[in-house]
Amino acid sequence: MKKIIIAFGAVALFVGTTSCKKTYTCTCDVLGSSISVESETKMSKKDAEAWCETGSNGACTLD
């Protein structure tokens, strides 16, 4: 029983510390037109927000 609890705890710790990485789409308004760009790599949401804001001057949003 003790081994099962330790194994379950180890699995829960591993799952809890891994981040959810996926591809994101950044939509930008340029001269009245909407342009969407999808990330080529999987990244965390925080990294995707930084990627979307880079060089956008606030005209892009993360979808």
Q: Which two tokens stand for residue 22?
A: 């996926």
Confidence (pTM)? 0.56
Contact 23, 30 (CB under 8 A): no
Q: Residue 33: enclosing H or E segment and its boundaries?
A: strand 33-38
pLDDT, one tens digit for every residue, the chain (63 residues): 767 666 566 555 555 555 678 899 999 888 888 888 888 889 998 998 888 888 666 688 888
Kindly give the residue spans of alpha helices, DSSP state H, lying in 1-63: 2-17, 45-53
Smallest CA-to-CA distance from 37 within 48, 21, 26, 52 is with 26
Paired residues of 26 in beta bridges? 37, 62
